Amino acid sequence: MHTLPEKPDAVEETLDPQDWDELRALSHRIVDEAIDYVSGVRERPVWRNMPAAVRETLVAPLPKTGKPLAEIYASVVENVLGYPMGNIHPRFWAWYMGAGNFTGALGEFLAAVQGSNVGGGNHAAALMDQQVVNWCKEMLGFPASASGSLVSGGSVANILGLTVARNAKAGVDLRERGVAALKQPLCFYGSDQIHSCHRKGVEVLGLGNEALRRISTDSELRIDVAALRRAIEDDRASGRLPVCIIANAGTVNTGAIDDLQALADLAAEQHLWLHVDGCIGALLKLAPENRWRVAGIEKADSIALDPHKWLHAPFEAGCVLVRDAATHRGTFAVTPEYLESSTRGLASAPWLFDYGLQTSRGFRALKIWMALMEHGVEKFGRLIDQNIAQGHYLSDLIEAEPLLELVAPTNINIVCFRFRPKGVETDELKAINIEIMLQLQDEGTAMISDTTVHGEHCLRVAVNNHRTRREDLKLFVEEVVRLGCAIARA
């Protein structure tokens, strides 16, 4: 048996500070400066490239001994906070991100201060985690009897949904026997606009990329339901087993929303699982002017949504919901001898790790909960409507500008367009437009991304940002035209 040294002067070590008052003073300063950082974000460039000296600090060797926290904080301010990705800036519109919120940051801080592991158990953080899941169900019109889990993001939420779908529809005991026992190859269906996480999903599920059938889309980039029906029938006729339709409620490329009612009907008729990738669009349910776009989403068997997008929770926060809680739990629950429940005390409440892959889970709920309590869900709905109105405003500015053209119809808050002066060959357009995008980054004016829609390269603006104002979009259009003219002339 090990014993502690008996010398009376031997003091155990701890990570706690020797002087709490010194820590208190520094912590107050950190909070003050954090508020300046966020309130002043508009005055700074969206993004800047890191100089070599900064990069060097980020490849420094493992520290063998420590140094004062104040010094470390100074380095974080200089080398880390000074070079952000930029997504909290009002003119960040690349890919599809949330802009964060300070209350959410306080929630992250307090969650870490409490330090609870939300793998489950009888404590407040675990109850709040379930409360936030219940609120997500309510936001989407899902039944109270459904289950769900907060996860790292939409990718994991989607993969969990696909896993439940696979196990529910495979016709063999996949948990016990694995994919080798499948008598027929399984098929999942999504449009050719589907997010890349679904490919990763079918791959890690052991089904292979081939199992994900990409169905063509119409001029609005929505899945062609007649083509989908034919693909399902063809697969059945050739001995495959169709299991799941993955509906897009907001595609990454253009924000297209599949006809969810039609897909729900088709899934019911064909006895397929309906999973909705609602990472972008599920929360449209909150938006009075736009919720009609996702009518029918509540008919899904499972839904992935992303609180770190339109609820602006600081990264990370995703959520999966499953209509049939028993099927959800049946996909993941395992109770080892060291995690048995008790009738009283801390282990007397359900384990939340039975609804996903993680055993230890962070206290993600608090940052979402605090922001919802502070603003109320109606305000989040108005902010979603506001972003969509801004998307259409930008789209109108582009249509009014002879040097710019839309490349895809603007549906919600995603605008695909390009700079196209007369007399420039189509094959030169891509290089010019990429250069416009890169110069906007270098100047720190705005952050956008690019994509290719039905074969046409374009610049892409996704206004998922509660700090954006119309004047930002106006400035953006002026800058694109100015840079485009300079680049095309050069």
Among residues 250 and 296, whose Cβ is nearest to ligand PLP?
250
CB 99 within 8 A of CB 342: no
- Interacting residues with ligand PLP (CB under 6 A): 96, 153-155, 158, 195, 197, 250, 252, 277, 279-280, 306, 318
- 470-489 and 426-443 helices cross at what angle (nearest 10)? 120
CB 327 within 8 A of CB 164: yes
Dist CA 235 CA 135 (whole Å): 38
CB of 227 to ligand PLP, least distance (A): 20
CB 387 within 8 A of CB 283: no
CB of 271 to ligand PLP, least distance (A): 25
CB of 156 to ligand PLP, least distance (A): 6
- Rounded to 5 degrees, φ, ψ at 17 are -75, 160
- In the three-class reduction of DSSP (H, G, I as helix; E, B as strand; rest coil), residue 364 is classed as coil
CB 242 within 8 A of CB 125: no
| End-to-end CA, the chain | 78
Among residues 252 and 458, whose Cβ is nearest to ligand PLP?
252
CB of 159 to ligand PLP, least distance (A): 9
CB of 155 to ligand PLP, least distance (A): 3
Dist CA 155 CA 95 (whole Å): 14
Dist CA 40 CA 213 (whole Å): 47
Maximum pairwise Cα distance, the chain: 88
Among residues 212 and 279, whose Cβ is nearest to ligand PLP?
279
Find, among 421, 423, 415, the residue nearest to 398 by Cα: 415
Among residues 160 and 437, whose Cβ is nearest to ligand PLP?
160
Sign of CA dihedral 424, 427, 428, 431: positive
Among residues 310 and 332, whose Cβ is nearest to ligand PLP?
310
Among residues 223 and 252, whose Cβ is nearest to ligand PLP?
252
CB of 126 to ligand PLP, least distance (A): 23
Token pair of 276, please?
A: 């909705």
CB of 166 to ligand PLP, least distance (A): 18
- C-alpha dihedral (459, 464, 468, 470), degrees to nearest 10: 60
Token pair of 187, please?
A: 């098929």
Among residues 121 and 250, whose Cβ is nearest to ligand PLP?
250
Q: How far is CA 459 from CA 217, 275, 447, 488, in A?
A: 20, 29, 11, 16
CB of 255 to ligand PLP, least distance (A): 9
Residue, CB closest to ligand PLP:
154
CB 250 within 8 A of CB 136: no
- In the three-class reduction of DSSP (H, G, I as helix; E, B as strand; rest coil), residue 139 is classed as helix
Q: E-strand spans in 98-225?
A: 147-151, 186-191, 212-215
CB of 229 to ligand PLP, least distance (A): 23
CB 174 within 8 A of CB 166: yes
| Strand-strand pairing, 241-248 and 414-419 | unpaired
Alpha helices in 58-153 (DSSP H): 69-76, 102-114, 124-140
CB of 371 to ligand PLP, least distance (A): 17
CB of 37 to ligand PLP, least distance (A): 24
Q: How far is CA 324 from CA 140, 319, 328, in A?
A: 15, 15, 6
Among residues 272 and 280, whose Cβ is nearest to ligand PLP?
280
CB of 414 to ligand PLP, least distance (A): 10
Among residues 128 and 280, whose Cβ is nearest to ligand PLP?
280
